[in-house]
A and B are shown apart, each in its own frame.
Chain A
Amino acid sequence: MSSGPLLQVDNLQMHFPVTAGMVFRRQVGAVRAVDGVDFHIEKGETFGLVGESGCGKTTIGRCILKLEEPTGGSIRFDGDEVAHLPSTEVKAYRRRVQAVFQDPYSSLNPRMTVEEIVGEPFLVHKACARDEIPGRVRDLLSLCGLPGRVQDRYPHEMSGGQRQRVGIARALALRPDFLVCDEAVSALDVSIQAQIIRLLEDLREELGLTYLFIAHDLSVVRHICHRVAVMYLGKIVEIGESESLFADPKHPYTQALLEAVPVPDPAVEKDRQFEPIKGEVPSPMNPPGGCAFHPRCPKAMPSCSDLTPAMETVGPDRRAACPHTGPTQAAA
């Protein structure tokens, strides 16, 4: 095992071709879902990826999970390049990298019992003898806070929270080092969501897991993540330590995003004056020139439509892609 970060992503690109024509199909453009993204995740850390729909956060997760072949850049896991892993090695890689998805309704096979679902990874990877599986499954279920009696149930007989626990148990079956949690708590009710967040946090400490936590709910991300990257139209616009990034966002998009989240307290909300940012996220097929955020940015200057801003260090352990982070920079 190398001493570097567990996951290192450099200049990752995922361009989906857009084709036209029924008979003579030709490429007429590309959706730049992920367009040059760099970040790293240390062992034992929870790294958050936030942004609005279509910003490319899920695509990054899918590239890391080898569900998508990136069109450029590199992904190094524990020092080894995995972006273009030969298919013979993908299986070994997947023993170490697993996923928890958003929708516990559609990510579990409705015709399999809980025991079959959670035990399937052992069969696929021939990780243990067949007769050991029920015992292993029982241990995994209890680790995820489920009673042993659910073992013979089908997904439709369980609540949303229980199903998500089954999804987590399945992901942990092969004792992975790294979990991609793609909107893992978004579909759950508030009281159940808190239970699953606590479970994920406890499991990380207990098993020494590392998480990539992809979510659009900023309050949840702030709570669970150590470091966070904010994405807009396929690019990271700001990255840094979670606590300080949420306390003092530098990039105008991060600022707008944070401002839009209401605090569940009328006393706080009453004194808050805010103006929601205008417009919507443009199409990733035809992103605006220069800084992609400039058409919506309250601080935009004429130069913003020409120059694509590069990521620059704007504070301790903080980088942002905006040349106008301005006076707050001095304060940091």
Chain B
Amino acid sequence: MNTPVLHLEGVSRIHGSGELAVHALREVSFEAYAGELVAVMGPSGSGKSTLLTLAGGLDEPTSGRVVVEGTDLTAAGAGGRARLRRTAIGYVFQDFNLIPALTAAENVSLPLELDGAPSRAARAAAATALDELGIGDLADRFPDEMSGGQQQRVAIARAIVGQRRLILADEPTGALDSVTGEDILRLLRARCDAGAAGVLVTHEPRHAAWADRVVYLRDGVVLDDEDAGETVGARR
């Protein structure tokens, strides 16, 4: 518990340059520890999705460091970041999370297969992950043949397959009804209780409340409970 699974240190991200520069994140520091689910809230444009793409190494910070499981993502290079996504980071998106041409089991085993795991081992790991999420019977279905909630479960299974400890969820319940959405959050919560570190981006307070901690983002800046006034004041 002493080293965070995910650690953002003074991370800034500026899109574009000059007049058109958009400060998506300013000097954000953030940690997520194993066994912890952290919710990131904020209105659209507050930088919460940018935070997630930086954490997953799909984007690079303009300044600052992003460290996943002790590896500096910037230093790791594109190849290293791809490797980390295969072995350490799992993504769950809002919808269309699954590759339509692959079955549930193939979607789940994808990171392992991309990593060069033997087909049989990858299948076995996928079956285990699907069983853990209670959808072992959906293994051979294609995404078209599953409900939204089932698809999200498969996506979570893919995010955790192969002992990965960082789950990055971007509005994972956005396309679901409230009951199914809640099921998904329970699952995420359970995965974190089982030892994963979760970062959940959402704009629904109800869902954010499943987290251990809630981080508020405003204009690329983190509002903490303690120094909220200061930050807001400073901005004025």
Do chains A and B interact in one complex?
A: no
